[in-house]
Amino acid sequence: MLLGTCMLVAVGAASGGAVAAPAKNDQTIAVSTHAPSVGPYSTAFTVHANASSNLEVAYSASGACSNVGDRFTMTSGTGTCLVKYDQAGDANYNPAPQVVESVTAQKADQEIFFDPLEDVTFGDLDYDIAGAFASSDLDVTLAATGKCTIKGVTVHLTGRDPLYEDVGGSSGPSLLLEILIGGIGALLVLLFVFGTLPAVVVPLLVAATSILTTFSLIWALTYVTDVSIIVQYLVALVGLGVAIDYSLLMIFRFREELHHGRDAESAIVETMTHAGRSVIVSGSTIVSVLVWAASGVGR
């Protein structure tokens, strides 16, 4: 017979027969290179972060940007880019709390480039603006203001300045010379019609007075608004023509009253009462038109 004792020892036993696992450590993420607060479209930036566990940090993006690793690119000019930092943990560390930085998207600046514009004068053939493009590769729209128009890329000169150059600018005969030529022509015609020098001189004196007075008023008007260069020709031509026309009306009416037996004083009164009234109404209308033309024509 064998005598003795057998002892069975269970080490580390827990209720239910399970063995307790050791607790994982927590970790945090610290950003060393932050994302910018604002990011223009198509620009890129780089970020960097470290985990307290020394495990590698993962980067991801959402919203107005995309990323490859730690390099982020703005994919929109509006909205918000979210830069996300994550560390998923391992056997020894719990996942780190996610860190998120926001970047406000901005529209990017751009430049427009085109070939040098040609120097042209009114009357030249239309020309095209070549090589216009934007640094953004977006389509370029061309528009014109001032003394030209544009359709597509084709430019056409218009307006007062090209017209002035087309008629010779200041190199042609002066306005005074043109008035003198017109006055001499009118003098010959009136001398042929009336046959007397006094009847001829009256229309020309009225013309000279009206033209000088109108030019003085237009000169004063230039301090208030822009005045078209065409007005000087209108004043000269209309002033000479209207002065002769109105003088003829007054003279013929005066002669008609004398023919009807009135004396000179009565003939003058009747002439001013009827023909004079017509001259005032007609002259006022022409003045109104000239004022409108001075402030509006050729702009």
Q: Is the pTM of this model over 0.85?
A: no
Q: Which domains does the chain have, with CATH numbers?
A: 26-106 (2.60.40), 112-166 (no CATH), 175-296 (no CATH)
CA distance 144 to 153: 10
Q: Which 3-state string (H, E, C) describes 104-120?
A: EEECCCCCEECCCCCCC
Per-residue pLDDT, averaged over 53-74, amounts to 96
Provide mean pLDDT across the span 240-268.
83
Query: pLDDT above 90 covers what percent of the chain?
Result: 28
> In this predicted structure, what is the pLDDT of residue 13?
42
Most confident among 97-101, 183-187, 225-229 (mean pLDDT): 97-101
Confidence of residue 90 (pLDDT cuts 50, 70, 90): very high
How far is C-alpha 151 from the geometric centre of its chain's CA atoms? 16
Round to whole Å and give the CA distance between 250 and 269. 11
Residue-wise pLDDT tens digits, 192-225: 877 777 777 877 788 888 888 888 888 887 888 7
Dump pLDDT digits (tens) for 119-166. 776 666 677 777 788 888 888 888 877 677 888 778 777 655 555 555
- pLDDT, residue 136, reads 82
Token pair recorded at residue 25: 């450590």
The pLDDT score that the predictor gives to residue 51 is: 95
Q: 125-159 in b/e burial notation, b at 16+ Cβ within 10 A? A: eeeebeeeeeeeeeeeeeeeeeeeeeeeeebbbee
pLDDT of residue 58: 96
7: pLDDT strictly greater than 50: no
- Pairwise CA distance, residues 175 & 208, whole Å: 14
Give the range with max mean pLDDT: 8-22, 88-102, 107-121: 88-102
- The pLDDT score that the predictor gives to residue 295 is 59
For the sheet containing 38-40, what is the strand order? Answer: 38-40, 99-106, 80-86, 58-63
- Calculate mean pLDDT across residues 77-104: 95
Q: Which one has a higher pLDDT value, 264 or 97? A: 97
